[in-house]
Structure 1
Amino acid sequence: MTYFLDDIKPPPRNDINPTFTLLTTELFDKLDGVRRENLGDFRTITEKKAFIIRTFMETFRTHIGIDIYPSVKLIFPEKVGRLYFIKETALARLVIKMYKIPKETDDYNLLHNWNKSYQPSKRFASDEKKLRDLPLQASRVIGKRRQFNGKPSEYTVDEINRILDQLVLAKLSQDQIELLKPVFDSLSISEVRWLIQIILKKSILVNVEKFFFNFWHPDGYRVFTICNDLQKSFQFSTDPQERLDGRQLEIHPFYKFKPQLAEKLTTSYTTLIKKLQKKHDMDERYEKLFNQLELQDKFYIEEKMDGDRMLLHKDGDNFKFFSRRLKDYSFLYGETFGFGSLTKFLKNAFANNVKSVILDGEMVAYDYKREAILPFGTLKSSAIQESVRQFTTIDQYEQQTSYPYFLIFDILYLNGKDLTNFPLFFRKNILNRILSPVPHRFEVHDTRLGSSKADIERAIREVVHNRSEGLVLKNVQSKYAIDGYRNPDWIKVKPEYLEKFGENLDLVVIGKVPAIKNSYMCGLKNIDDGAYYSFCICANGFEIEEFDKIERLTHGKWIKTDVEMPPESLIKFGTKIPTYWIHPKDSLVLEIRARSIDTSMEKTYAVGSTLHNNHCRKIREDKSIDECVTLQEYFQIKENYSKDLTKAQTALSKKRAPLYSFTDLPDLKEVKKQSDLFDDFEFLILSDWKNGNTTTTMDDLKMLVKKYGGKIVNSIDVQSQLQIIVITEKDLPVSNQYLKRGIDLIKPIWIQECIDRGRILQLEPYFVFATNNWTKFDDMADKYGDSYIIHQPLNFIVPKLSNDELDKLRDDYDWGDSKPLVYLFRNIPFHVLGDSLNSQLLQDRIERFNGEIKYNFLECFYIVIPDKLHSREQTLAQVNRMSKQIAESMVINENGSTSRIPCFVTESFITKSIDLNSIVDPDDFKFI
């Protein structure tokens, strides 16, 4: 079958070949020069840029011709599909080699250390604002270094395209230099800058690309969305007055488009269910099927799979597979029934009358031995080895026990008919009639009907029990919109397997602190007054390319705070002021993930609290600032989080006996009592005592206490009539438990001082290792903690700080890249599966880095599965029992948030975190 897109033919060539100079001077430079301060009669930056584009279009049509595609290849470098394999660092060093720039010069350091944000000086204000603009900086270096006589040479658009086509084939740096140096030597500096921008495939028409498509032809951008082909999008019509009909603007098989996406849950279940149950007017034929299927007040509940979103196109006996990011995976999954890791199993999967079809679904990896769907990262290797298997008889490939498994949840096209405007229940009804499932290879995804909050909660508990990704809830009448549209009738609900703070937040960047590694301040919009309140600063999780992308997207829009502060009606800062601020409408969205949320009030940020140990998960170019978390939504999240932290834990925990080095505990019964000094006390001794170069072990301390009449205990008995003394000089995970119960932690030296003086000494600050109430010692020492009675060494005289004050200092201190490894797992509770020696060693390793071991797995953040345990079947059975208990005990709030859910991870999670001195993403170390 032929389609509208198949019949597009190039228009006649232009009478005049446009020059590269025309593009740079009439389009690129003018767009780049738009600022708030030079808007003139235009109301917004976007309005002025749209005028520049329209004027350029009119000039091009009048003076050049109707074939704009050769120019478009340069105007949209990120969409044209050329692969140069030259990134910023490689290009910077190519320029060094090209112009033989000597080492230790400013130009050399600027380019060679580009990925380190090297900045030798700030000579001009424009340099500061465009510091990370490599095309601009490199073109300036080239301008100083090249030998240039006379005026710049003009290159036509065709000549530049030919050079770029040759650059695609040039793999060696010397070949690249021979191609580019003559061009760099003869273009104007502005043209060199834009050519570098094109080679780096950096977007030029940021945020205004739709104007360019639609000014050329009103249907231009829609054509692009259904095919993502620049040539067809600018050559389907030479007359902007000639409009396409609806059939021509429908999706076509074998032409790639971005699938529809789901929104994140942001409302209460009550509001959500009303929206999901909302019924729209329908044609009579749909109404009849709707009633026949008993869909009144119902909505779909589907499990969200951990795979790769994939669109399957079939036309005749040929296939295409396109990912959400428009990458073509047909070579991997198969282009015909004859070959491919998936298609070779689909000969009988379609009804005989199915000639052409487009299916939407999730490609996952299925392990037939474990009978389980594997994590996302294993999918590609499974597909590759399944494909290789058909070409070889080598036994090593038989070791691969997984293969691609396509789960289908929607049909978008069938036998020449675009189904995207049909209601979802109608599409699903068709889907079930035209497909014959191939078990664990090619199946329709399970869908159930729900009608209440209880139905959603039941499904969430099943997801947690099965350790799955989440849910997608869908209005049964929802239509399908392409181009990555987030449909509010599709809602994703993900139980977060995180730590204290179970949220990923989409936040707006409102400030910047430049450094070797830039920090970005994010804010929350207050719905009441419309202002953005400063909330947190994030500097972690960014790749070099992401720093570059942020700087490119916000290029020229930063304002120095010491020159001009933002109006409070727009942005409100706390005591922490960034170096630069940016208007939110000119900014971008970051997805931030945090280890914990600070529930105490503070003035550092205008919100009054902040996130700790945060990192950027990704730049959300698909999100507008109006889709981000608001101040009011955050307060609700914070309230739920605070309740979760203070929730009473009723399950009992057992104590883990200390792991001794293959020696027995000392026999305290044999110690003879020599004094009744400590008769009135019970001692719980938690650590050794290091006094200079001498170490007194816990065992020796216990015998010493026993010798002087004290009673040694291993736990606190609330019924005891004796006073309890907890002895330690180490910050152990269990210490916080005693502090929360109001018990002071005493240093071992107190025992020795009492013995030396022959009496029980009052507790001076010098003897206290930690307490939640330092104020009761105020009268016993000066402001530095120096006792008025007990002599203490000078190195012990320090200001007194409570544990909360110490925690705040530790969290707020800018450790940079040198945060002590000992704090790695601080305040993170773990449960380690099993009681083998290997399990105990893993527990000790976690505690060594300040982690806390929990014996009630419902209280922890991570459940760690040691590498060397029982058989996999036994381990999996135990994990399944634990998952069921977690799901049953989970608390689900009205807004869809849940109580903390432990995440099952492998031992490699601990090893990798220690190696990197950073908590790695648990999603990469899931136990399956």
Structure 2
Amino acid sequence: MTNTSTPINSYLDNVSTPTNYQEPTYKFLVDELFIKLEGANFKQNLGSFSNMTEKKIHIITQFITNFKLHIGHDFFPISKLIFPDKSGRLYFIKDITLARLIIKMYNIPKESEDYQVLFHWKHAFHTTKRFTTDVNNLRDLPLRISRIIANRRQLEFNSDDDKFSISDINDKLDLLNVAKKSHEQIEIMKPLLDKLSIPEVRWFLHILLKKSILTRFEHVLFESWHPQAWELFRICNNLQKTFNYLTDENIVLTPPQLNVQPMYKFRPQLSFKLLQDYSKLINDMSMNIPMDDKFQSLFDKLELKKGEFYMEEKMDGDRMVLHKQGKYFKFYSRRLKDYSFLYGENFEFGSLTKYLNQAFPSKIDSIILDGEMVAWDFKRNAILPFGTLKSSAIQESVRQYTTIDQYEQQSSYPFFLIFDVLHINGMNLTNHPLFFRKNILTQIINPVPHRFEVLPFKIGYTPEEIQNSIKQVISVRSEGIMIKHVQSKYFPGERNPHWIKIKPEYLEKFGENLDLTIIGRIPGIKDAFMCGLKNTSDQSFYSFCTVGNGFTNEEYDKIERITHGKWIKFSKTSQPPPNIIKFGSKKPIEWIHPRDSLVLEIKARSIDNTSEYTYAAGSTLHNLYCRSIRDDKSIHDCCTLEEYQKIKAYYGKDIEKSQFANKKRRKQLQQDSFNGVETKRIKVESDLFKSFQFIIVSDKLNPNGDRITRDELIILVKKYGGTILTSIDNPTYPRLPIIIITEKDLPSCQVYFEKGYDLTRPNWLFECINHQQIIPLEPMFIFKSKNLAKFMSKQDQFGDSFIIHKEIDLSSKLFGLLSDQELRMAKLDFKLDLTELGIEIPKCFLFNDIKCCVVGNGKGVEKLRNRIEKYGGEISEDYLQSSFIIAYQDEDDGSDDRIKSTINDISKSISENVKFDEGSKISKIPNIVTKKFIEVCIERNVIVDADDYKYI
């Protein structure tokens, strides 16, 4: 073993290119890696392997072995094709752009089916998804394009001389990287697409779209190449440096060589949210960590004491890591996006760096700073909400290139607040205690007011000091505070238990964003995904919630691409092993093994404890939606069942109190509505069912998982003239045929069955209503019958109905049949199920049970109040008891200062009324938002994140 202690940054910058025994071909990559990996997605191709994961790992390791044996050690060129999303190229070609390019490239006529498929690719997504018979093509644009090309290009027989090397493909992609006009892109692509084989075309298009081909097996390839390759890549995120440095398996990197380096991007350290009382937090912060004498000496010199901790304001901005090497800068976000072009790459240009000429002492050559990028409004003398940051930076950058007066109207610009230093002049500081790093930071930074400053901090010691800090951030409507152990070290890409964030808890908002693993799917107009929590004690995933809202078409596309071919139909004979996944009473239509899945960031309004057995976790989330797909997280980084239980315990008292009130209210509404009181008042709009008596036994559960309750079916039948019975022993006169409606084999159903009654599915009711006539009973409508043979003549030889041609959308049909008032009474639980499933609910429920206080005197205030009430909200003058305080101002009435003064007074009052319980849990406070919050909620028909529309 060779043990090298050479500083990794000095070596990486001068690394040489390894030599190959022979030039690898593109065909080799496609045949030996891409096609084989895709084939492993199908169970019938597993061979001697027990599962897909085992086979895929074998394929990858065998590919690396063959590469080293027959080709050599220059893996970087081929890695750019294997990891297209990490190659650093920018083609500006998305799926729609690619589809249009292919239309032009092959002169596809408008009247052709190929044109319709390509030109309307996005628009036809759900139609294709629901009705396609070729499920293997589902949302795979490169596959569809490759088939179209195969039918439209001339048939050519390629000789060995026509084989393209990896260098050839990289050269073409480099040209596309600089080609911005469509005719230039077509000139580069068409000769290549005409000569590549069809499988090669398909995977070239995957690369061009920068789709991750290895998905969850990327780290396997890195570690197959070298055991430390993945570790090295995580701190530099550079394919060339990683593969060109680790060419020999005998090279062993030392811990210092795996530290952060200037100009190489890495993920910053993250914090935990407070889920304990302040006394326990202070006890954790009092833990003493043994130190070297030099650190102990500085600790004493700074007059720090055991038990003290840092308190900083948590800023509402974009987490950013600044790198400086000589006169050059780099800015990387939390998710490794490069913002250097926006904030500046040197002292000459950039919305920020051009102001930093005097910010660093001349002796500082290289430095890495961690901080928060915010937008500073110099007219309001305030930090703006997060959403305004990018536009402020762009306009500040543009200003330096133009003299046009319109850019002088811009009143904000980027402001970098620094809270940590990780590297100085070749010295790594991540292993040094925080107080040491803070001390250096205050000495080396020359502040540029409201452009570049060190974030102020306080020293805390008692729970009262934390409480006072929380009250202060509430009074100024700030994000929260950070509590940091004075001796804490810095762990890139990890969460540090000694960095704790404390944020005010808001009404109508569950204070956590949870990263969850998809374990099930319920197909529909919009797919809904069941997510699970991993139980660390038995390593099984427990079903937890179902989310169908918040997904973009691109996210649906990505989920389909990653999980394609891995879904398993849920049935009695095809269920996940309990040591892998545990479901409650709610089952998905399809399930997926967690190892083949991906991670979603879920935001919700509250925890729901009322459905104890619905999910295996014992509770679920209420009014949830997907904020994003977490590419940077694996299933092992997700929230665990144990972590969730701590969160649930933290919010427990509020949950029990609110849900007890909701349950009591719901029970009263049901009693009032269905115990012979309100049902008598239901207006009969049709005599469709007047010739029948009905016994409604069970709820109706649709194939996509949404539920229509028994009470709702009763309302529906009465509205269409039917008579409701409670038992067969209590018929009405004149005697009418009795129809038993059920789709559950309950004990009472067995009694009816034994007496010769046919048990009819609820579908029959909706088909009759849909056709406005009584539909003859067919096998598809029969749940159970002793006379099933007599119904067989009502269908054809293939089992299809002579009358019914398609399934109807039961939920939307129900909403069309019932009034808003009836839905309000009957659909409280139903609303929750629909929200989870992503099914559109009537907008009259949007702000249901939500109090809003509108502050302002503009001409549109009354109109805004009316809109809130129209969509189910309640207007209140008591801002302390309101969920949302909406600051309303007309742009032209000059009320800005007046509204701001009023909101400041309200914020101060809220701060003064904040209370802390014995466990230091803070009472919840209202969200203070702009009128745009209401507008966007109505537009999207969902309660959006109030953080994005805060009033400053």
Note whether the superposition's TM-score is higher than 0.5: yes
1:481 aligned residue: 491
Q: CA deviation at 1:80?
A: 0.8
1:100–1:796: structure 2 CA closer, same or farther, 3 Å change rule? closer
Secondary structure of the equivalent of 1:208? helix
The aligned amino acid for 1:431 is L
1:509 aligned residue: 518
Secondary structure of the equivalent of 2:210? coil
1:682 aligned residue: none
Q: Is the 2:12–2:241 Cα contact (8 Å) retained in structure 1?
A: no
Q: Is the 1:367–1:403 Cα contact (8 Å) retained in structure 2?
A: yes
Q: Is the 1:130–1:556 Cα contact (8 Å) retained in structure 2?
A: no
Answer yes or no: is 1:625 the counterpart of 2:638. no
Secondary structure of the equivalent of 1:85? coil
1:556–1:494: structure 2 CA closer, same or farther, 3 Å change rule? farther
Q: CA deviation at 1:157?
A: 0.8
Q: Is the 1:830–1:852 Cα contact (8 Å) retained in structure 2?
A: yes
Answer yes or no: is 1:806 the counterpart of 2:816. no
Superposed, which structure 2 residues align to 1:104-253 within 5 Å? 110-115=117-122, 116-117=124-125, 127-128=134-135, 131-150=138-157, 153-236=162-245, 238-244=247-253, 248-253=257-262
1:289 aligned residue: 298
Deviations 1:753-791 (A, max 9, x none): xxxxxxxxx99975799xxxx9xxx9xx98599xx9xxx
Answer yes or no: is 1:555 the counterpart of 2:564. yes
Q: Indicate which of 914, 927, 930 corresponds to 1:890.
A: 914
Answer yes or no: is 1:350 the counterpart of 2:374. no
Secondary structure of the equivalent of 2:215? coil
Measured in 2, the distance between the counterparts of 1:24 and 1:612 equals 45
1:910–1:302: structure 2 CA closer, same or farther, 3 Å change rule? same
1:892–1:43: structure 2 CA closer, same or farther, 3 Å change rule? farther
Q: CA deviation at 1:827?
A: 1.9
Measured in 1, the distance between the counterparts of 2:609 and 2:256 equals 55
1:106–1:636: structure 2 CA closer, same or farther, 3 Å change rule? farther
The structure carrying a bigger helix percent of its residues is: 2
% same residue: 50
Q: Indicate which of 572, 587, 606 corresponds to 1:577.
A: 587
Q: Is the 2:103–2:115 Cα contact (8 Å) retained in structure 1?
A: yes
Deviations 1:477-520 (A, max 9, x none): 222233x3333332333335451544433222110123453221
Q: Indicate which of 876, 891, 905 corresponds to 1:854.
A: 876
Q: Is the 1:461–1:888 Cα contact (8 Å) retained in structure 2?
A: yes
Q: Is the 1:101–1:107 Cα contact (8 Å) retained in structure 2?
A: yes
Q: Is the 1:110–1:119 Cα contact (8 Å) retained in structure 2?
A: no
Measured in 2, the distance between the counterparts of 1:244 and 1:306 equals 38
Deviations 1:343-391 (A, max 9, x none): 3433333334333322111111112222211112222332333344455
The aligned amino acid for 1:364 is V
Superposed, which structure 2 residues align to 1:431-442 within 5 Å? 431-442=441-452
Q: Indicate which of 633, 638, 645 corresponds to 2:658.
A: 645
Q: Is the 1:493–1:896 Cα contact (8 Å) retained in structure 2?
A: no
Measured in 2, the distance between the counterparts of 1:561 and 1:165 equals 46
Q: CA deviation at 1:543?
A: 1.6
Superposed, which structure 2 residues align to 1:363-762 within 5 Å? 363-390=373-400, 392-482=402-492, 484-497=493-506, 499=508, 501-526=510-535, 531-562=540-571, 564-601=574-611, 604-607=614-617, 609-626=619-636, 627-630=638-641, 632-633=645-646, 635-636=648-649, 639-643=652-656, 645=658
Q: Indicate which of 245, 268, 275 corresponds to 1:259.
A: 268
Measured in 2, the distance between the counterparts of 1:124 and 1:741 equals 43
Give the alignment's Cα RMSD to 1 decimal. Answer: 4.1
Structure 2: gaps spanning 5 or more residues: 1-6, 684-710, 716-721, 727-731, 733-815
1:165–1:318: structure 2 CA closer, same or farther, 3 Å change rule? closer
1:87 aligned residue: 94
Deviations 1:553-577 (A, max 9, x none): 3333221113612234433334443
Deviations 1:591-645 (A, max 9, x none): 2223454443366544565444321001123334343152634643663332453
1:306 aligned residue: 316
Answer yes or no: is 1:23 the counterpart of 2:29. yes
1:600–1:53: structure 2 CA closer, same or farther, 3 Å change rule? closer
Q: Is the 2:359–2:448 Cα contact (8 Å) retained in structure 1?
A: yes
Q: Indicate which of 865, 870, 874 corresponds to 2:898.
A: 874
Structure 1: gaps spanning 5 or more residues: 649-735, 746-761, 789-794
Answer yes or no: is 1:69 the counterpart of 2:76. yes
Measured in 2, the distance between the counterparts of 1:113 and 1:96 equals 12
Q: Is the 2:276–2:650 Cα contact (8 Å) retained in structure 1?
A: no
Secondary structure of the equivalent of 1:863? strand
Secondary structure of the equivalent of 2:380? coil
Q: CA deviation at 1:43?
A: 7.3
1:333–1:180: structure 2 CA closer, same or farther, 3 Å change rule? closer
Measured in 1, the distance between the counterparts of 2:179 and 2:678 equals 76
Secondary structure of the equivalent of 1:78? helix
2:38 aligned residue: 32
1:919–1:3: structure 2 CA closer, same or farther, 3 Å change rule? closer
Measured in 1, the distance between the counterparts of 2:245 and 2:550 equals 43
1:488–1:25: structure 2 CA closer, same or farther, 3 Å change rule? farther
Measured in 1, the distance between the counterparts of 2:397 and 2:127 equals 49
- TM-score w.r.t. the length of structure 1 is 0.77
1:921 aligned residue: 945
- TM-score w.r.t. the length of structure 2 is 0.76
The aligned amino acid for 1:535 is F
Measured in 1, the distance between the counterparts of 2:106 and 2:551 equals 31
The aligned amino acid for 2:125 is S
1:552–1:892: structure 2 CA closer, same or farther, 3 Å change rule? farther
Deviations 1:679-719 (A, max 9, x none): xxxxxxxxxxxxxxxxxxxxxxxxxxxxxxxxxxxxxxxxx
Measured in 2, the distance between the counterparts of 1:342 and 1:797 equals 58
Secondary structure of the equivalent of 1:430? helix
Measured in 2, the distance between the counterparts of 1:275 and 1:926 equals 33
Measured in 1, the distance between the counterparts of 2:49 and 2:601 equals 33
2:798 aligned residue: none
2:808 aligned residue: none
Q: CA deviation at 1:90?
A: 2.6
Secondary structure of the equivalent of 2:555? helix
Measured in 2, the distance between the counterparts of 1:617 and 1:499 equals 17
The aligned amino acid for 2:68 is R
Measured in 1, the distance between the counterparts of 2:725 and 2:873 equals 30
1:927–1:119: structure 2 CA closer, same or farther, 3 Å change rule? closer
Measured in 2, the distance between the counterparts of 1:783 and 1:145 equals 63
Measured in 1, the distance between the counterparts of 2:178 and 2:819 equals 67
Deviations 1:717-762 (A, max 9, x none): xxxxxxxxxxxxxxxxxxx9999899999xxxxxxxxxxxxxxxx9
1:706 aligned residue: none
The aligned amino acid for 1:384 is I
Q: Indicate which of 907, 919, 924 corresponds to 2:931.
A: 907
Secondary structure of the equivalent of 1:426? helix
Worse overlay, 331-340 or 366-375: 331-340
Deviations 1:240-272 (A, max 9, x none): 323455665443333333322223445555554
Q: Indicate which of 325, 332, 344 corresponds to 1:322.
A: 332
1:295–1:352: structure 2 CA closer, same or farther, 3 Å change rule? farther
Q: Is the 1:589–1:628 Cα contact (8 Å) retained in structure 2?
A: no
The aligned amino acid for 1:840 is E
